Structure 1
Amino acid sequence: MGKIFLFDALREATDEEMERDTSVFVLGEDVGHYGGSYKVTKDLHIKYGDIRVLDTPIAENSFMGMAIGAAMTGLRPVVEGMNMSFLLLAFNQISNNAGMLPYTSGGNFRIPLVIRGPGGVGKQLGAEHSQRLEAYFQAIPGLKIVACSTPYNAKGLLKSAIRDNNPVIFFEHVLLYNLQDDIPQHEYFIPLDKAELVRCGTDITIVTYSRMRYHVLQAVDILVQQGYNPEIIDLISLKPLDIDSIITSLTKTNHLLIVEECMRTGGIAAEVIAQVNDNYFDLLDSPIIRLSSQDIPTPYNGNLEKATVIQPKQIVEAVQRLLSL
């Protein structure tokens, strides 16, 4: 085992897969000589050359289309979005091409494509650089969506995503790149469709993902001191949702709280609630509570920005309120 940063874990995964399979290549803005906006591809161009670590123009729709075409011909592109918000400029290519071509071609094409990069609310990045695109992409048929949250799961998930034969949207949070964790020296993989049981408990199920995992952990430290015993699930897989893991937990706790950084309207929590209410309503002893970001563009002002995102204190209060019903 050895402690490494999350960005280094992603770099290791990319390096290992490029070394193993010559069909894997990376493209995006400043991924080559600059090493990526968060150093995920640092020095890879030295090892693999400028064709397999390809610096692109600032033209997201063009290089996304090129990556999809490359995937159709047998290559395995890894597209880095300098900021995931910029990939809205390639929304047509991702939705109408990457997601649909395997189906509209009658199965004649597969799209082994990974689209990864930083997103989420950072520290005063402004509205256009603080997008949470998981809800945007969730409705697109044919895509898999994952959100890493630790260096350990980041590496295992990215290796699995690169080897998958479907298009995978791979979300990394801009404020988690400098997290450190122990990583095994041996090769390992993490499935793209499974949630992680972070903490066992009996009183309430708290479902979360990405950076909110750490806000939940802070809140749970306080709740445990107050005598509560929460269970924590990190979704990791946002599409498909691992509803089985949630239901397994609910059969013990019978209470559900969902904490997300996504916007409230049409967010991931909304889908979780719909699936639980549609199929497992009888497991609930109280209404489901969701804590989501406000439905407004993220302010640049630091205090206002913080106010739009769920904080540990709100999680503590929600659990206290839910368990007192």
Structure 2
Amino acid sequence: MSKIFLFDALREATDEEMDRDSSVFVLGEDVGHYGGSYKVTKDLHIKYGDIRVLDTPIAENSFMGMAIGAAMTGLRPIVEGMNMSFLLLAFNQISNNAGMLRYTSGGNFKIPLVIRGPGGVGRQLGAEHSQRLEAYFQAIPGLKIVACSTPYNAKGLLKSAIRDDNPVILFEHVLLYNLKDDVPDTDYFLPLNKAEIVSNGDDVTIVTYSRMRHHVIEAVNLLSKDNIYPEVIDLISLKPIDIQTIVSSLRKTNKLIIVEECMKTGGIAAEIIAQINDDYFDLLDAPIIRLSSQDIPTPYNGNLEKATIINPEQIVDSVKRLLS
């Protein structure tokens, strides 16, 4: 095991897959000589050249379309969004082309495409750089969506995504790149459709993902002082949602809290609540609690920004309220 930063884990995954398979290449704004906004592609252009680590113009719709075309011919492109918010400019290409072409071509084309980059609420990045696009893309058929939360799952998920024959969006949180943790020195892969049980417990099930995993862990440490032991599930896969792992936990706890940084209206939590209420309502001893960001553009002001997203204290209060 080696203790490395999350951005280094992503870089290792990219390097290993590019070294193994010459059809893998990276494209995006400043991914080459600059090394990417968060240094995920640092120095890869030296090893692989300027064609396989391709700097593009500031034209998301154009280079996303080029990547999809490259995937149709048998290449395996990795598109880095300098900020995932900018990929709204390529929404048409991602939804109408990447998500649908394998189906509308009758299976004649595969789209082995990875779309990855920083997103989420950072520290005073302003509304346009603080988007959480998981809810935007969740409804698009044909996409797989995962969100990494640790260096370990970041590397394992990216390697699996690169080898998958379908378009995969990997969401990375802008505030997790400098998170450091153990990563195996041997080759490993993680499934793109499975949640992770972070900690076991019998009192309440807490479902979360991305940066909120760490807020939940902080809350669980506080709750343990009062002999309250939640079961924590990191979704990891946002599409498809691993509902069975959640249901297995609910059979023990019968109580559910969902913690997300996504907006409350139409977010990932809303989809989970709908599925649980549709098919597993009898497992619930109390209404599901949804802790989500405020439905407003993220303020630039630091104090106002903090007020829009969930904090560990709110999670602790919600657990105690639910158990009472």
Above 0.5 in TM-score? yes
Secondary structure of 2:295's counterpart equals coil
Give the structure 2 partner of residue 312 of structure 1. 312
In the TM superposition, what is the alpha-carbon distance from 1:144 to its structure 2 partner? 0.2
1:117-161: CA deviation from partner (whole Å, max 9, x where unpaired): 000000000000000000000000000000000000000000000
Give the structure 1 partner of residue 33 of structure 2. 33
Distance (whole Å) between structure 1 residues aligned to residue 182 and residue 100 of structure 2: 38
1:213-241: CA deviation from partner (whole Å, max 9, x where unpaired): 01101111111101111000000000000
The one-letter code sitting in structure 1 at the alignment partner of 2:282 is D
The one-letter code sitting in structure 1 at the alignment partner of 2:176 is L
In the TM superposition, what is the alpha-carbon distance from 1:197 to its structure 2 partner? 0.3
Give the structure 2 partner of residue 251 of structure 1. 251
Distance (whole Å) between structure 2 residues aligned to residue 299 and residue 84 of structure 1: 18
The one-letter code sitting in structure 1 at the alignment partner of 2:70 is A
Distance (whole Å) between structure 1 residues aligned to residue 127 and residue 229 of structure 2: 37
Distance (whole Å) between structure 2 residues aligned to residue 253 and residue 144 of structure 1: 29
Secondary structure of 2:78's counterpart equals strand
Alignment of 1:247-286 (within 5 A): 247-286=247-286
1:163-198: CA deviation from partner (whole Å, max 9, x where unpaired): 000000100000000000111110000000000000
Secondary structure of 1:247's counterpart equals helix
Secondary structure of 1:217's counterpart equals helix
Give the structure 1 partner of residue 58 of structure 2. 58
Alignment of 1:107-118 (within 5 A): 107-118=107-118
1:35-56: CA deviation from partner (whole Å, max 9, x where unpaired): 0000000000000000000000
Q: How many residue pairs end up in the alignment?
A: 324
Give the structure 1 partner of residue 46 of structure 2. 46
Distance (whole Å) between structure 2 residues aligned to residue 112 and residue 304 of structure 1: 40
Give the structure 2 partner of residue 173 of structure 1. 173
Correspondence 1:81 to 2:85: no
The one-letter code sitting in structure 2 at the alignment partner of 1:312 is P
Alignment of 1:1-325 (within 5 A): 1-324=1-324
Distance (whole Å) between structure 1 residues aligned to residue 72 and residue 2 of structure 2: 37
1:68-126: CA deviation from partner (whole Å, max 9, x where unpaired): 00000000000000000000000000000000001111111110000000000000000
Secondary structure of 1:74's counterpart equals coil
1:7-38: CA deviation from partner (whole Å, max 9, x where unpaired): 00000000000000000000000000000000
The one-letter code sitting in structure 2 at the alignment partner of 1:261 is E
The one-letter code sitting in structure 1 at the alignment partner of 2:183 is I
- Which runs of structure 1 show a deviation greater than 2 angstroms over 4 or more consecutive aligned residues? none
RMSD: 0.3
Distance (whole Å) between structure 1 residues aligned to residue 279 and residue 223 of structure 2: 29
Distance (whole Å) between structure 2 residues aligned to residue 206 and residue 36 of structure 1: 34
For structure 2, list consecutive stretches of 5 or more residues without a partner in the other structure.
none
The one-letter code sitting in structure 1 at the alignment partner of 2:189 is F
Secondary structure of 1:123's counterpart equals coil
Secondary structure of 2:197's counterpart equals strand
Distance (whole Å) between structure 2 residues aligned to residue 226 and residue 302 of structure 1: 32
The one-letter code sitting in structure 2 at the alignment partner of 1:247 is V
Distance (whole Å) between structure 2 residues aligned to residue 170 and residue 68 of structure 1: 16
Percent identity, please: 84
For structure 1, list consecutive stretches of 5 or more residues without a partner in the other structure.
none
1:239-279: CA deviation from partner (whole Å, max 9, x where unpaired): 00000100010000000000000000000000000011100
Distance (whole Å) between structure 1 residues aligned to residue 317 and residue 189 of structure 2: 37
Distance (whole Å) between structure 1 residues aligned to residue 3 and residue 105 of structure 2: 45
Distance (whole Å) between structure 2 residues aligned to residue 87 and residue 182 of structure 1: 31
Secondary structure of 1:30's counterpart equals coil
- TM-score between both structures, scaled by the size of structure 1: 0.99
- TM-score between both structures, scaled by the size of structure 2: 1.00
